[in-house]
Amino acid sequence: MDCVDFVELVTEFLEGALPEADERRFIEHLAECSGCENYLDQFRRTIATTGELTPDNISSDARQQLLSAFKDWKRQ
């Protein structure tokens, strides 16, 4: 396996979706190539950082309307 192939297989590797033989070649390459080792590490850190995003929330007007809609529904 060369680096060109390695960088395209990272998600499949992380998902455990690589066929056994490919996974073995992936790991062999990883052990020998510091550039790809960094690439995999950066991929993991990117995923972790994406997971830390705190999304915007809906406006307080919308929130208030939904809370009243729920209250009205309960009264019915």
Partner 1 sequence: MAGARELPPDEVLVRRLRDGDEETFALVLDTWSGGMLRLAMSFVSTKASAEEAVQDTWLAVIRGIGDFEGRSSLKTWVYRILVRTAKTRGSKESRTVPFASLQPEEEGPTVDAARFRPPGERYPGHWAVGQEPRPWPEDYVLRGEVRELIAEALDELPPRLRAVVTLRDVAGYGSEEVCSMLEISPGNQRVLLHRARAFLRRKLEHYLSGVHDVAVGGDERGLR
Q: Is 40 exposed, middle or buried (0-12, 13-18, 19+ CB in 10 A)?
A: middle
Any contact of residue 28 with partner 1 (CB under 8 A)?
no
**How far, in Å, CA of 68 to CA of 41, rounded?**
47
Cβ of residue 44: shortest distance to partner 1, in angstroms? 10
Distance in Å, CB of 16 to partner 1, minimum: 10
User: Residue 9 carries which DSSP code?
Assistant: S
45 makes contact with partner 1 (CB under 8 A): yes
47 binds partner 1 (CB under 8 A): yes
Indicate the residue among 10 and 25 with the shorter CB distance to partner 1.
10
